Amino acid sequence: MGSQEVLGQAARLASSGLLLQVLFRVITFVLNAFILRFLSKEIVGVVNVRLTLLYSTTTFLAREAFRRACLSGSTQRDWSQTLNLLWLTVPLGVFWSLFLGWVWLQLLEVPDPDVVPYYGTGVVLFGLSAVVELLGEPFWVLAQAHMFVKLKVIAESLSVILRSILTAFLVLWLPLWGLYIFSLAQLFYTSVLVLCYVIYFTKLLSSPESTKQHTLPVSRITDLLPDFTRNRDFVNWKEAKLTWSFFKQSFLKQILTEGERYVMTFLNVLNFGDQGVYDIVNNLGSLVARLIFQPIEESFYIFFAKVLEREKDATLQRQEDFAVAAMVLESLLKLALLAGLTITVFGFAYSQLALDIYGGAMLSSGSGPVLLRTYCLYVLLLAINGVTECFTFAAMSKEEVDRYNFTMLALSSSFLVLSYLLTRWCGSVGFILANCFNMGIRITQSLCFIYRYYQESPHRPLAGLHLSPVLLGAFALSGGITGISEVFLCCDQGWPARLAHITVGAICLGLTLGTAFLTEAKLIHFLRTQFGVSKVADKMT
């Protein structure tokens, strides 16, 4: 498969994921706004911080390294060995679920049962839901490796929607169930997610025509189960060693990704109510990152992993693939920078209004607006880091991955210390500031790797981080105008003034995007050709 064909598949995967994610996330967004009006801050804090951390830690430690190792390289491999390796995530998940469940029940502070009832049941069911989700890991990796464009997004979005509907129903009709509501909804979510993959592959493999069309390495559903009868090695030891390297890195990356939740959970720097407000703002601030940046990062990691050979020096790569990878990286960096700047500039003036509409006075008063404004800056760094790391992790050799682990260890330690100190100094906003600092360090590490990787070539993908002075001026002018608009029109002046403030922002956003279309013709061409952007962009350029 040529690099252009892989690029097309990656772009279709990302764009399809983006469109469907927007549709389903909007529905979920509305349902969550409804749920927030029936819950206490304490229950939100325990569910979204304490229990979700248990679930995410279990799944991340059990599968992240396997995903990165098994998605690297060509799809032409002994898939029986790869699937055997992936099934090891289940016993590993059982181990982490039991161990972390014991920590959550025995070593951490237990919430007041009168305020947050059924905490123990919640720990058990969230741990069980993590193990259930790992049962679908071989199906997920096979689907990603063969770029089944819609399966992943539809399965995950459908599961999220059904979970939100079930949660809303139980909150409305059985509010006294407490954590039972969210525990049952989480178990339902993972069960539906795994069933979607199983049903899809069962129907696909039962149709010979579909199997031939997709050229799958398996011919029946039982081929996806562990194979203990083979004469060769049970797993591919090269993949297993790479998995171990990624596992050491994943453990550290998890601390960086969920570091603030670990500090809140183990050091008790915030009460459960403040944890709830912080997590709601964090989820709202990261909404665009999940909608746009995550599908792009996941899809183009696969692209880079397929067109670049991990163990080869840059000078030994196929030059056509090498050049395409540079072009794609430059365009993705430009896209991430523009999207992140847009969120940062306009998010500052509209944070308080967004929180008031979403969750009422519980969010828009107090520290909520300051948290969301700071988070908008973090989103900019998050966007750039997602692109740089998806290239870096796809291009690094095993030895470079091992060396990078030491950097991650230092970052993890500094992040935990910095989070604790900044939180003691400036409250919950300290978590976001610590995240910004560490994200900046990670971006710097990746940029240095990319610079060295392309240093001996004529390609300069880091040019994607340069914007024209005209566009930078448009961002600065929009930020100033919307900031003044917020002072005079928002947020205590009533809905007519709020609508005027929104109108000012819409006009500034339109002018800024128009300037981007006129000044960034190369990026618009990339989006038009790879993501199917409308002909409006073509006319404007």
279 plus 245 within the same structural domain = no
376 plus 398 within the same structural domain = yes
385 plus 246 within the same structural domain = no
288-318 per-residue burial string, b: 16 or more CB within 10 A, e: under 16: bbebbbbbbbbbbbbbbbbbbbbeeebeebe
Residue 353 lies in a domain: yes
The one-letter code for the residue type at 332 is L
Q: Which residue has the higher pLDDT, 40 or 505?
A: 505
pTM score over 0.85: no
> Do 359 and 36 form a contact (C-beta atoms < 8 A)?
yes
pLDDT band at 303, cuts 50/70/90?
confident
For residue 106, the model assigns a pLDDT of 93
Q: Which residue has the higher pLDDT, 187 or 286?
A: 187
> Do 51 and 123 form a contact (C-beta atoms < 8 A)?
yes
52 plus 103 within the same structural domain = yes
- For CA atoms 262, 163, 380, 323, the dihedral sign is positive
For residue 541, the model assigns a pLDDT of 38
Length of the chain: 541
285 plus 218 within the same structural domain = no
Assess whether pLDDT exceeds 60 at residue 532.
Answer: no
* Tokens linked to 310: 């991990």
Q: Give me the domain span that covers residue 230.
A: 38-250
For residue 166, the model assigns a pLDDT of 92
Average pLDDT over every residue of 290-307: 78
Q: Of 201, 229, 250, at which residue does a domain stop?
A: 250
226 plus 284 within the same structural domain = no
Q: Of 250, 284, 312, at which residue does a domain stop?
A: 250
418 plus 529 within the same structural domain = yes
281 plus 201 within the same structural domain = no
> Do 38 and 172 form a contact (C-beta atoms < 8 A)?
yes
Average pLDDT over every residue of 78-90: 88
183 plus 310 within the same structural domain = no
Residue 205 lies in a domain: yes
> Do 72 and 310 form a contact (C-beta atoms < 8 A)?
yes
Assess whether pLDDT exceeds 60 at residue 211.
Answer: no
The one-letter code for the residue type at 292 is I
Mean pLDDT across the chain: 83
235 plus 294 within the same structural domain = no
Residue 475 lies in a domain: no
Average pLDDT over every residue of 46-68: 91
Q: What is the pLDDT of residues 159-209, one digit of tens each?
A: 988 988 899 899 888 888 889 999 999 999 999 999 999 999 998 888 776
Assess whether pLDDT exceeds 70 at residue 254.
Answer: yes
Average pLDDT over every residue of 50-72: 89
pLDDT band at 536, cuts 50/70/90?
very low
Residue 32 lies in a domain: no
Residue 25 lies in a domain: no
Average pLDDT over every residue of 261-271: 84
The candidate with the shortest Cα–Cα distance to 4, out of 308, 305, 295, 324, is 324
For residue 94, the model assigns a pLDDT of 97
Q: What is the pLDDT of residues 476-494, one digit of tens each?
A: 999 999 999 998 888 777 7
Give the distance between the most distant pair of CA atoms in the chain.
Answer: 75
Assess whether pLDDT exceeds 90 at residue 96.
Answer: yes
Average pLDDT over every residue of 391-420: 81
Residue 458 lies in a domain: yes
239 plus 340 within the same structural domain = no
Residue 33 lies in a domain: no
Q: How many structural domains does the chain have?
A: 2
Residue 498 lies in a domain: no
pLDDT band at 540, cuts 50/70/90?
very low
For residue 25, the model assigns a pLDDT of 61
> Considering only 76-80, 108-112, 266-270, 536-540, which range has the smallest mean pLDDT?
536-540
282 plus 413 within the same structural domain = yes
> Do 386 and 294 form a contact (C-beta atoms < 8 A)?
yes
d(CA 502, CA 372): 17
For residue 496, the model assigns a pLDDT of 86
- Enter the DSSP assignment of 462: G
What distances in angstroms separate CA 456 from CA 319, 453, 460, one per listed residue? 12, 8, 10
94-115 per-residue burial string, b: 16 or more CB within 10 A, e: under 16: bebbeebbeebeeeeeebeeee
> Do 339 and 380 form a contact (C-beta atoms < 8 A)?
no
Average pLDDT over every residue of 416-428: 86
Q: Of 250, 277, 310, at which residue does a domain stop?
A: 250
DSSP string, 285-341: HTHHIIIIIHHHHHHHHHHHHHHS-TTS-GGGS-HHHHHHHHHHHHHHHHHHHHHHH
pLDDT band at 266, cuts 50/70/90?
confident
